């Protein structure tokens, strides 16, 4: 295949430094991931290699120039995400993330959507009354929901925040653990505690818990209640049964918003039990006011290896299903 070259103008020394990174670390990532060569010619970055690879690399660089112009941070995770989009011919989608701040931590650090899928999910939470966030681990489903719940509470859209999850975990038998149900489930609620403390700070978080403005409890404690003027998050919803999911959804009262998060590839229910999350997303998908947002491996925002691990398991799962179908 003939080698081609393309030039991308950074426009200024400052932007050129930002897109190349310290000691050219950003440039090295682009060269490694897309198998192209980069060199600097004045304020231009010259890309050379195979036609398809050069096109993708040039798209990535053009997007990085625009992000730098908007004052957006350019780090390894953002570059890797832009490269993944470019492989699908969608590099420009990353520009939708400019200014996508959804909240701030108690230390004043802005919390931003890091992927297009996350932004779509956050927009649905702001707009719709009931939102299902379905996707693999590391896509920020719970973290973003907690962040938006805190913003809704601070702006007085709701009077309290309620976080819950079913008492089922992989390989764990809660009956063998000491204490009552709350005590047994508390360790599994830790991600919710951590997210809230990051948004509010320990002192404010503790005061709101004592006042009852924040409630974190097992799903079983929701039965028989009406949850009004509240932002309610059901985490790990793949481990609800159909009956539990129906019970939860029908708790909603006036002025409330519900966000249901889960990963349908990590169902830990006993054999023979069907996931309430899988069932609900199928039967409720056409109801106005209910949004179902699917996040994918491209929305994973943990270590870049996590994205590859998730993808490898998805490929293996599809292969297993295909082999099972052939045997039948």
The domain spanning residue 35 has which CATH number?
A: 3.30.1370.10
- What is the tens place of the pLDDT at every residue in 70-87? 888 898 888 988 998 999
Query: Same domain, yes or no, for 151 and 252?
Result: yes
Structural domain total, the chain: 2
The CA-CA-CA angle for residues 285, 288, 291, to 5°, reads 50
Query: Same domain, yes or no, for 193 and 59?
Result: no
Regions of the chain with pLDDT less than 50:
170-178
Residue 59's pLDDT is: 96
Query: Same domain, yes or no, for 92 and 154?
Result: no
* Helix (H) or strand (E) run with residue 70 in it: none
Whether 317 maps to a domain, the answer reads no
Largest CA distance in the chain: 69
Residue 204's pLDDT is: 95
On the CB side of 94, CA atoms within 13 Å amount to 32
* Helix (H) or strand (E) run with residue 135 in it: none
Backbone CA torsion sign across 309, 311, 315, 320: positive
* Phi/psi of residue 250, nearest 5 degrees: -85, 5
Residue 57's pLDDT is: 96
Residue 172's pLDDT is: 40
Helix axes 51-69, 13-20, angle to 10 degrees: 120
Query: Same domain, yes or no, for 190 and 72?
Result: no
- Give dist(CA 177, CA 172) in Å, integer: 9
Residues counted in the chain? 328
Out of 97, 130, 154, a domain closes at 97
- What is the tens place of the pLDDT at every residue in 307-320? 678 778 878 877 77
Residue 177's pLDDT is: 45
Query: Same domain, yes or no, for 69 and 115?
Result: no
Query: Same domain, yes or no, for 136 and 206?
Result: yes
CATH of the domain at 113: 3.40.50.300
Whether 257 maps to a domain, the answer reads yes
Query: Same domain, yes or no, for 161 and 205?
Result: yes
Whether 197 maps to a domain, the answer reads yes
Residue 51's pLDDT is: 92
Domain range enclosing 270: 101-291
Q: Which residues contact 302 (CB under 8 A, 6 or more apart)?
A: 137, 138
Whether 313 maps to a domain, the answer reads no
Whether 137 maps to a domain, the answer reads yes
Cβ(307)–Cβ(297) below 8 Å: yes
Query: Same domain, yes or no, for 49 and 146?
Result: no
Query: Same domain, yes or no, for 119 and 91?
Result: no
Residue 150's pLDDT is: 96
Residue 324's pLDDT is: 63
Q: At which residue do the structure tokens 């939860």 appear?
A: 248
Query: Same domain, yes or no, for 216 and 229?
Result: yes
CB atoms within 10 A of CB 305: 9
Query: Same domain, yes or no, for 159 and 73?
Result: no
Whether 192 maps to a domain, the answer reads yes
Look up residue 315 and give its two tokens. 């490929």
């Amino acid at each position: 295949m003939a080698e081609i070259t393309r030039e991308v103008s950074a426009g200024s020394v400052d932007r050129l430094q930002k897109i190349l990174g310290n000691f050219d670390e950003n440039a090295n990532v682009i060269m490694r991931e897309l198998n192209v060569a980069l060199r600097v010619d004045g304020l231009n970055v010259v890309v050379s290699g195979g036609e398809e690879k050069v096109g993708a690399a040039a798209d990535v660089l053009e997007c990085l120039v625009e992000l730098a112009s908007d004052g957006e941070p350019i780090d390894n995770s953002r570059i890797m995400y832009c490269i993944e989009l470019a492989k699908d011919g969608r590099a420009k989608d990353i520009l939708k993330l400019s200014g996508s701040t959804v909240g701030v931590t108690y230390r004043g650090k802005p919390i931003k959507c890091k992927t297009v899928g996350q932004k779509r999910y956050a927009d649905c939470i702001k707009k719709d009354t009931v939102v299902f966030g379905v996707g693999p681990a590391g896509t920020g489903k719970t973290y973003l929901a907690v962040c938006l719940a805190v913003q809704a509470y601070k702006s007085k859209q709701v009077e309290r925040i309620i976080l819950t999850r079913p008492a089922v975990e992989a390989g764990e038998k809660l009956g063998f653990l000491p204490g009552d149900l709350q005590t047994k489930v508390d360790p599994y609620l830790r991600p919710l505690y951590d997210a809230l403390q990051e948004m509010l700070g320990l002192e404010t978080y503790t005061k709101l818990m004592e006042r009852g403005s924040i409630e974190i409890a097992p799903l079983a404690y929701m039965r028989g209640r009406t949850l009004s003027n509240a932002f309610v998050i059901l985490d790990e919803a793949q481990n609800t049964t159909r009956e539990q999911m129906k019970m939860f959804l029908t708790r909603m009262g006036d002025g409330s918003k519900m966000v249901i998060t889960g990963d349908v590839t990590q169902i830990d229910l006993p054999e023979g039990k069907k996931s309430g999350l899988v069932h609900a997303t199928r039967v409720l998908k056409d109801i106005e006011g209910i949004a179902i947002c699917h996040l994918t491996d491209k929305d994973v925002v943990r270590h870049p290896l996590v994205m590859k691990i998730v993808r490898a398991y998805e490929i293996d799962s599809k292969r297993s299903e295909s082999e099972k179908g052939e045997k039948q």
